[in-house]
Amino acid sequence: MPDAKTTSIVGANVARKEGRDKVTGAARYIDDLTLPGMLFGATVRSAIQRGKIKQITFPHSIEWSEFTIVTAKDIPGKNCIALILDDQPCLADGAVNHAEEPILLLAHENRQQLTKAVAAIQIAYDALPALNTIEESESQRELIWGENNAFKTFLVEKGDVDSVWPVASHIVEAEYRTGAQEQLYIETNGIIAVANPQDGVTIWGSLQCPYYVHKAMMKLFALPEDKVRVVQTETGGAFGGKEEYPSMLAGHAALLALKSGRPVKMVYDRAEDMAATTKRHPSRTRLRTAVDANGKILGGEIEFVIDGGAYATLSSVVLSRGTIHAGGPYNWPSIRIRSRAMATNVPPHGAFRGFGAPQSLFALERHMDRLAQVVGISPTEIRRRNFLQPGQTTTTQQAVPGEINLPLLLDRALNLSGYEAKQIAAAAQNNDPLTTKRKALGIAAFLHGAGFTGSGERYLDSVAGVEALPDGAVRILVSSTEFGQGTNTVLCQIAAETLSLPYDRVSIAQPDTTAVPNSGPTVASRTIMVVGKLVHSACVGLLQTLRATQSLPAPATPEQFQSACAAHVSQHGNLKSYARYQAPKDVFWDDEKYRGEAYATYAWAVYVAEVTVDLLTFSATVDNFVAVQEVGKVLHPILAEGQIIGGVAQGIGFALYEKVLWQHGRMRNNQMTNYIMPTSADLPPIHVHFEEFGNPHGAYGAKGLGELPMDGPAPAILNAISAATGHEFNSIPLLPEDLFAALNPTPENPPPSAQLECPLPVGAPQ
């Protein structure tokens, strides 16, 4: 620490920086902004899943001369959304690969005219057969991507798993599935673009990653860095859903702006947002596990597969995180994890809080309960006997640091939930032959890696800055964005603490690529841990400069700091300090073998769900929820608790409410009326408790925490439902109709689990 003095801003519940504007309605979101002469844009999308575009007809009923019309031919640069593989076109050019794929763009000053025009355009196709599921893609009956329909595969190996099967007391094998999930931010995707040949492209929008959009616009318009400007406006929720998609929408709005010569606004309505933008990857996980007579894991094989949709987009990195988290917080003496992301003809799936980990951890944590059952011990005991301990290694052979104490988290969660007493009461109730309500508690233990995977942070090479003004106020310069999580507030806390300044003397610049350095995307639970540390370093650099040039004492009062800033700025013009990411020395990663320090640090958690299953209505209700986690130093207790509760709520939705209904590759329930998220009347009390084990890599000991709470609720709830009903539920979402079908099987209506009779590739069942 630069100064011994502690102002206790870190750890305090200071006011959210942009909070006042949000509670007064003064905050300006993209749809609240208007530019002079602005047109509105609209998208003409594919009605089919896969095929060639034969002909596009513009009927005479519309006065087309009033419209700006953009096709792929109008793209000045490369027709792609630059991200990882550049395989996704910005506009379909002759062929389509998924329903809702954008084909044409229209702009007009009147929104009603646009709606009519979009509906009037007729497109004739030569349809080709489409692939809708992981299994259809694996069958390769059509080749729709690369040589084998696989965007990416990984293999993680540790120890000699082939030697464990003959010596195992039990071998347990099962398959688990998770469905697509819509992010359902309440503010839909929206962009305003201005573009002309002289000045290039300017984008304002609701987005998470200004420099992702910046990179995409450079390629789409063949422009140099300084001719693209991207500004984030107040963003009404994102959850990953505004990580990669805004590059597509920005491209569309900017193409219309370039052709029309006028500003263009595109804000999706809810139906278009739900139908056309990304969702959480559906998954299928198969586990085969060998345990000894006491329930100790000897080894196992995991096959983890996700449905990536029609283009590669972020699927490889979602797969990576899901693969690395597939072994959970347990000691695997040997393991082999094979994973792949498969192509299908549905809109590309994408980033959503948790990023692959909720999928593979759902499977693992359901499987742990199965292991317990087979061995004949309790769900708590099977976990206790297999928890990672200091000195042991994860599946990628990363050493577990000394301060990690998972039994402590488990005991805390059991105590806070009143687990034992409630289990006894539930058993008594369930044994009553007249009861129509069965109760049970379910547990999930898990971990979540903070920051980019493996070498990711090194490639990002992030930079953060701070600028001191002559009046001694300080402004943080980062591309990290606020979309509800508290980026603005907590980064300002870190800077104020480091500079020994009052919190209200520190502000944060609006993310604008012409004004802030690239501190990386706002994703992967990395902002407070990684960028927060850079802000800290930049502040230390600022103090060092002032000590050298202005003899600033250490520690200094805010008044001394102000006069030093004023003197420095008058002598040198400005005072800025930047810090660049430096990989911790003990972080090593082998990208070939997928081995090493997968993440600089992990957050750890044990969650307990208390559930009632109503045997008359077949509804499952979460009555109480306890979330115990270790996320390093908690820098803002209210915001941290808010992140955990919000994530748990989304996890409950993932488990029990949110079902995307697909028909011919399109989301049919693309409305809030029939895609149901939890309301204030649906959620149980959610109790949050933090432990602190510490983290040397993060600012003031913080770790990432935003995604963690998404991982645990679904398996904890399904474990409880399975215990309550005596039926193994291995798929989510689990809605009342699914419970009904499973508990009342008929030949016409078989239980969902019986429908999954795929041969297991990793060996025959025991």
Partner 1 sequence: MTAADTPAPKQKISLEVNGEPRTVSAHPMARLLDVLRLDLQLTGTKEGCGEGECGSCSVLIDGVLVNSCLVPVLQAAGTKILTIEGLSSSAGQLHPVQQAFLDCGGAQCGICTPGMILAAVHLLAKNPSPDLAAIREGLSGNLCRCTGYMQIFQSVSQAAKRLTSP
Give the residues lining the site for partner 1 (CB under 8 A).
15-16, 18-29, 31-32, 112, 115-116, 183-188, 234-239, 269-270, 483-486, 638-639, 641-642, 645-650, 671-673, 677-681, 683, 685-686
Name the residue nearer to partner 1 (CB basis): 164 or 688. Answer: 688
Name the residue nearer to partner 1 (CB basis): 327 or 684. Answer: 684
CB of 63 to partner 1, least distance (A): 14
Name the residue nearer to partner 1 (CB basis): 10 or 640. Answer: 640
In this structure, the chain runs to a length of: 766
Distance CA 179, CA 189 (A): 22
CB of 638 to partner 1, least distance (A): 4
| Residues with Cβ within 8 Å of residue 330, at least 6 apart in sequence | 297, 364, 368, 383, 386, 387, 388
Name the residue nearer to partner 1 (CB basis): 408 or 677. Answer: 677
Q: What are phi and psi for residue 384, nearest 5 degrees?
A: -60, -40
Name the residue nearer to partner 1 (CB basis): 185 or 304. Answer: 185
Name the residue nearer to partner 1 (CB basis): 528 or 723. Answer: 528
Distance CA 457, CA 467 (A): 24
CB of 737 to partner 1, least distance (A): 21
Would you state the structure tokens that stand for residue 682, as one six-digit string? 């649906």
Name the residue nearer to partner 1 (CB basis): 300 or 647. Answer: 647
Distance CA 445, CA 418 (A): 17
Closest CA to 154 of 711, 595, 449, 455: 595
CB of 73 to partner 1, least distance (A): 30
Closest CA to 490 of 425, 450, 536: 536
Would you state the structure tokens that stand for residue 688, as one six-digit string? 């949050």
- Residue 386: how many other CB atoms lie within 10 Å: 21
Cis peptide before 733 (omega within 30 of 0): yes
CB of 270 to partner 1, least distance (A): 4
Distance CA 10, CA 496 (A): 8
Cis peptide before 329 (omega within 30 of 0): no
Q: Report whether 479 contacts 210 (CB < 8 A).
A: yes
Name the residue nearer to partner 1 (CB basis): 25 or 224. Answer: 25
Closest CA to 387 of 331, 447, 446, 445: 331
Name the residue nearer to partner 1 (CB basis): 241 or 451. Answer: 241
CB of 484 to partner 1, least distance (A): 3
CB of 238 to partner 1, least distance (A): 8
Would you state the structure tokens that stand for residue 324, as one six-digit string? 């690395």
Would you state the structure tokens that stand for residue 144, as one six-digit string? 């729709």
CB of 272 to partner 1, least distance (A): 11
CB of 22 to partner 1, least distance (A): 3
CB of 31 to partner 1, least distance (A): 7
Name the residue nearer to partner 1 (CB basis): 15 or 155. Answer: 15
DSSP string, 679-728: -TTTPPPEEEEEE----TTSGGGB---SSGGGTSHHHHHHHHHHHHHS--
Which residue type is seen at 648?
V
Name the residue nearer to partner 1 (CB basis): 237 or 694. Answer: 237
**Residue 521 CA to chain centroid, in angstroms?**
12
Would you state the structure tokens that stand for residue 75, as one six-digit string? 């793209």
Closest CA to 187 of 242, 252, 232, 230: 242
The packing angle between helices 315-325 and 357-375, to 10°, is 30
CB of 582 to partner 1, least distance (A): 32
Would you state the structure tokens that stand for residue 294, as one six-digit string? 């006491």
